[in-house]
Chain A
Amino acid sequence: MSQNAENVLDHFNLFREPEYVEMLENKKSFENGHPVELVAEIRDWTKSWEYREANFAREALTVNPAKACQPLGAVFAAVGFEGTLPFVHGSQGCVAYYRSHFSRHFKEPSSCVSSSMTEDAAVFGGLNNMIDGLANAYAMYKPKMIAVSTTCMAEVIGDDLKGFIATAKLKGSVPEDFDVPHAHTPAFVGSHVTGYDNTMRGILTHFWEGKERVPTQKINFIGGFDGYTVGNLREVKRMFGLMDVDYTILSDNSDVWDTPADGEFRMYDGGTTLEDTKAALNAKATISMQEFSTEKTLAFAANHGHEVASFNHPVGVAATDKFLMEVARITGKPIPLELEKERGRLVDAIADSSAHIHGKKFALYGDPDLTLGLTAFLLELGAEPVHVLSTNGGKEWAAKVQALLDGSPFGKNCHAYAGKDLWHMRSLLFTEPVDFLIGNTYGKYLERDTSTPLIRIGFPVFDRHHYHRYPVWGYQGGLNVLVWILDKIFDEMDRTTNIPSKTDFSFDIIR
C-alpha cells in the first residue's frame, strides 16, 4: 500500500507504484491485446513515407480535426453584445458542449440556453420549443437581447427561425419590440468561424435592415472568432484610445469572459451596447481582424455603404504596421508617437532574440486567419514555417499562405495544407520533422508521439491557464507571441543540454 495521509498520492504517482504496475500488467491477460512486437511494428510503420501516402489518400475519414462546428461561433459572437443571451434552437446536448468548451478555455462561466428539441419536435418541428423557450429565457434571465442560432437538428428538419420568432412574439413569449436576431448556423457547413460570421451578420441585419444610414466618422471593429479575445480586444481599445479613434467594437466579449471573483456572478458583463450596434450602421467603415471569420459580414457592411478592410489575425511588426496604417488612413488620425515607440521596442526585442529563432523550422495549425498571421510573423523572425495546416481552411486560404511563403526567402520548401487534420500533421512531423510545433491543446498528442515541442497558441487551450488574457495583436501582442516562442526554445535548449559530463557543456547561464 503506497497511499498515505501525510503525502497523498494522486493519479500522477499512485499508479506508478509497484502494486498498481503489477495489477495493470496482469490485467493485460484479459485484454487479448496484440503482441508487443506487432504494436511496435505498426507504430514504426505509421512513421513512414508509405503510411503518409496512405494517410493523405484519405477521402472520407477525419481524424483529430482542428475545427469545431458553426453554433460554437454563434455563441461566441452573441455573448459579445450587451445583456445578450445566446439561444440555440435544436437539441440540448449541443449547448452543454459549447458551454463546457468555452468554460474549459476561458475558465469562466458561459451562459447559453437551448430550446431542448426532442423526438416529437423532430416530427412536428420546433415551433413550440421556440415559443416556450423564449418565454422562459426572457422571464428567468432577463436579457436585453436573445440571439437565436441553430443546431444541425433544427437545420435538417428545416425549421423557419424568422417565422417561429414572429409567432413566439405574437404569442407573447417576449415583447413585440424585444430584440431577437437570428442566424441559421448548420453544423454541416463550414466551421465555428462560419458560425461567427453568420451570427454577426444576423445581428447586424436585425438592427440595420430597413434603417436609413446617416454617415459618421466612426469606424466599426470586428475581432472574429478568437481565443485571445479577452486580451486582444482590450489591447485594441488601448491602441484606439492612443490614436483617438472613434470606434465601435462589434461583439466585445472581453468582459463577459473575464469577470472578477468578488462575490457576484455576472451572467452578462460589458459587451457592445444595443444602441451602439444600431448606430454602427452609420459608421464610415467596418474593419475586421479576421477575413475568413467575417466574409459575409463584411460583404453585408459593404452593401450598406461602408468602406471595408480586413486582416488575417495580424501578429508581429509588419502586420501591425499595416493594420494601424489602414486605421490611420480610414480615420485620418495619425499613429501616435507612443505606438511608434512600442513598435521600436518590439523590433528591439526581435533583434535581441532572433539568433535563437533564425532558421528554426516550425509546423503550425489552426483557424485560417490565425495561421496566416502566425506564418507572416514566423517569416518576419527568420523562421521557416514548413508545414502550415488548417482543417477549416480552403483553397483561397492555401493560396494566401503560399503567397506569403513565396514572398520570403524563409518560405522556400514550406507548404500549406488546406482541409487536413492533425492525423495528417502527425505524418508530416514524422516524415519531414521540424523543430517546433505551434497549435492548440490537442497538439500535445502530436508532441507526445513525434517529440516535437509544442508552443500553445490557438483555440482551445485547456491545459495551460490564462493565456487568453494576453493580447497577441498590436506590438505588445507581438511581444507576447515572441516570448512564448522563445520560452519554449530556451526550455528545449536547457532540456537537451542538462546531462552532466555528457551534454552540459552547453548548459549556459547566459543565452
Chain B
Amino acid sequence: MSLTVEQTKERNNALIKEVLEVYPQKTAKNRAKHLGTYEEATEEGGKSDCGVKSNVKSVPGVMTIRGCAYAGSKGVVWGPIKDMIHISHGPVGCGQYSWGARRNYYIGTTGIDSFVTMQFTSDFQEKDIVFGGDKKLEKIMDEIQVLFPLNKGITVQSECPIGLIGDDIEAVSKKKSKEFGGKTIVPVRCEGFRGVSQSLGHHIANDAIRDFVFDKLDPTREFQSTPYDVAIIGDYNIGGDAWSSRILLEEMGLRVIAQWSGDGSIAELENTPKAKLNVLHCYRSMNYISRHMEEKYGIPWVEYNFFGPSKIEASLREIASHFDDKIKEGAERVIAKYKALTEAVIAKYRPRLEGKTVMLFVGGLRPRHVIGAYEDLGMIVVGTGYEFGHNDDYERTTHYVKDGTLIYDDVTGFEFEKFVEKIQPDLVGSGIKEKYVFQKMGVPFRQMHSWDYSGPYHGYDGFGIFARDMDMAINNPVWGLTKAPWK
C-alpha cells in the first residue's frame, strides 16, 4: 500500500500541520519555516533548496538535538589532531562528556606522543571565575610541557565562561608560545553560547587553523611535493573512515599528504598548503579552510562522497578529473578492482533490504551523503534533516532526495517522535539521544554519528559493513518480540 508521490506530499503536509498544533503560536510560526516536503523542480519552476529555513537559533525548551560551538571545535575539528594537547578550558563537564565519545581512531602511544582519548581540563573553580583564569592557564601550559614533553602543540578550547569573564587567552597563548621556542599554541574562541549550534564552532576552529597554523608557517620549510599530492579534508576517521578512504585514493595513484583531522597531526596541517587538490568530505565543517586555501594558496577543492558504490565511483572519477590520464586510469582500475566485492555485498543484502524505508536526522554531510548508499541497497530515504545545516547544505540535498521527501531542520524531540510514529519507517538513523526513543517504539535504529560503535562506513570496504549493519538492525529478531503474545 505504498503511497503515490502526491499522496505522500499530502500526508507529510498534514503531519506537519498536526505537529505544529501543539506549539504556542509564536513557536508554531517559527517551526513551520523549518519543516517541509521537498518539491522537485519542474519546468514551470521550483525550489532550488528544500524550502526550509536553517542555521538560526533553536527555540528554547523544545528539546533540540543540537550541541554547541565548543562541541564543533573541540569535539569535531581540533580534538582528533592527535599529537597536540587540547585543553578544555573552563569547568570540568564539557571535556568530560566529550571524552573519547566520537571514536576518532588514531595510531599513537596515548599519553606519550598522542592525546586524543584524554581529557585535559582547567577544571574551573569559583575563584577562577571571580579572579580570571589566565594565570591558571599559564601554569597549565607549564605543567603540560613538563609532563607531556612530546606534545607538538597546545590548543585552548574555550568553554562558556571564558568569553564572559573577559580572559585573554590570546595573550597567554602568545606569551607561552614565545617562551616555549615558537611552539604552536592556538587559542580558540569556541564558547558554547556563540552561534546557534556546533556549526559556528567548526568555522571558528577553521579560522584558528588559518591564523595560528598557516599564518605562522615558516615560508622556507621544506616539503618534497609530487604532482599527485592531495589532502583529505573533513573526515574525522570515525571507526576508521578516513583510512578506508585513504586506501582508495592511494590505490588510484594519488599521494595523501594530510588527513583533516581524523588521525591527523600538526605536521599534516602544515603540509596541506602544498597539496595540488583538497578533497572535501564534510563540506559543512571544513569548507571554510578549503576556500581559504583556494584563495591564499590557489589550491582547488572538490567535494566527494564515499558512501556506497554509486557515489564512490562518481567521486573517484570526479577527483581523477583534476589530474592526468595516469590518475584517471587509476580511478578506473580501483573501480574495477572493487566491482566484485560491491556486487557480492549487494547480492547478499539487497534482497533483505529492498524497498525498506529510512528516516535520517544527523549532522554535517550525512543527511544527504548516505542516501546513495541506502539506494544502492534498494532502500528509500523518506525523510531527512540537518542538526546544524545551512542553506547551502539544503541546496546540495536537492541532488539526493526524491520528490515528496519530508524535510525537518533542527528537528525537536517531539516532532521527530511524531513523524516516525506516523510514517513508520523501517529504519531510523540518528544519534545516541534518539536511539532508545525509537527502539522503545519498536523501530529499528542505527546511530549515524558513531556508526553505533561499528564502522568504517566510508569507501568500498566500509560499504560492506554499512550493508551488514543496516541488515542486522532491520532484520533483528527482537522486533518480533515487542508485543506480549497474550495481548
Question: A: which residues have CB within 8 A of B?
Answer: 1-6, 8-11, 14-15, 19-20, 23-24, 27, 30-34, 38-39, 42-43, 46, 51, 54-55, 58-65, 67-69, 71-72, 87, 90-94, 96-101, 103-104, 107-119, 121-122, 129-130, 132-137, 139-141, 151-153, 156-157, 186-189, 191, 259-266, 423, 426, 442, 445, 449
Contacts and interface: CB of A to CB of B under 8 A. Distances in A.
A1 B92 contact: no
Given A9-B461, A34-B113, A91-B193, 8 more contacts: A1-B337, A23-B250, A32-B152, A61-B139, A62-B121, A113-B61, A153-B192, A156-B160
Interface residues of B, number: 127
19 contacts: A14-B240, A19-B247, A30-B267, A39-B112, A42-B112, A51-B147, A55-B147, A62-B122, A63-B118, A63-B121, A64-B118, A72-B93, A93-B94, A122-B164, A139-B24, A141-B414, A153-B164, A263-B440, A423-B111
A265 B193 contact: no
B432 A32 contact: no
B113 A93 contact: no
Interface stretch (B66-74, B367-375, B399-407): B66-74
A113 B58 CA distance: 11
Contacts of B105: 11, 15
Given A136-B23, A261-B439, A3 B160 contact: no
Which 9 A-B pairs rank lowest in CB-CB distance, beginning with the nearest?
A: A93-B68, A69-B93, A133-B61, A133-B60, A97-B97, A32-B267, A187-B91, A5-B344, A136-B61
B26 interface: yes
A58 B146 CA distance: 10
Which among A10, A101, A111 has the greatest number of chain B C-beta atoms within 10 A?
A10
Given A96-B66, A132-B61, A261-B442, A62 B240 contact: no
Given A23-B246, A31-B268, A61-B144, A118 B194 contact: yes
Interface in B131-163: 136-137, 139-140, 143-144, 146-147, 149-150, 152, 159-161, 163
A30 to B, nearest CB: 5
A58 B22 CA distance: 54
Interface in B73-89: 83
Interface stretch (B292-300, B324-332, B452-460): B452-460
B338 interface: yes
B27 A63 contact: no
B243 A31 contact: no
B464 A5 contact: yes
A23 B243 contact: yes
Interface in B88-116: 90-94, 96-101, 105, 107-113
B68 A96 contact: yes
A24 B243 contact: yes
A15 B237 CA distance: 12
A213 to B, nearest CB: 34
A132 B60 contact: yes
A101 B442 CA distance: 23
Contacts of A157: 164
Given A113-B62, A152-B91, A191-B92, A23 B247 contact: yes
Contacts of A133: 60-61
B456 A263 contact: no
Nearest to A44: B112
A132 B27 contact: yes
B41 interface: no
Nearest to B455: A11
B244 interface: yes
B347 interface: yes
A188 B123 CA distance: 7
A59 B63 contact: no
Interface in B198-233: 198
Interface of B: 22-24, 26-27, 57-71, 83, 90-94, 96-101, 105, 107-113, 117-126, 128-129, 136-137, 139-140, 143-144, 146-147, 149-150, 152, 159-161, 163-165, 192-196, 198, 239-240, 243-244, 246-247, 250, 256-259, 263, 265, 267-268, 271, 337-338, 341, 344-345, 347-349, 412-414, 417, 431-433, 435-442, 454-456, 460-461, 464-465, 467-468, 478, 482-484
A1 B341 contact: yes
Contacts of B247: 19-20, 23
A55 B123 CA distance: 17
Given A20-B243, A97-B94, A445-B117, A8 B64 contact: no
Contacts of A31: 83, 265, 267-268
Contacts of A8: 464-465, 467-468
Contact of B194 (A51, A67, A119): A119
Contact of A188 (B120, B161, B433, B465): B161
Given A15-B240, A39-B112, A261-B439, A64 B348 contact: no
Given A87-B61, A136-B24, A189-B126, A11 B437 contact: no
B142 to A, nearest CB: 8
Contact of B465 (A10, A442, A445): A10
B144 to A, nearest CB: 6
B121 A116 contact: no
Nearest to B487: A262
A449 to B, nearest CB: 7
A428 B246 CA distance: 40
Which among B96, B161, B268, B442 has the greatest number of chain A C-beta atoms within 10 A?
B96
B332 to A, nearest CB: 16
B440 A109 contact: yes
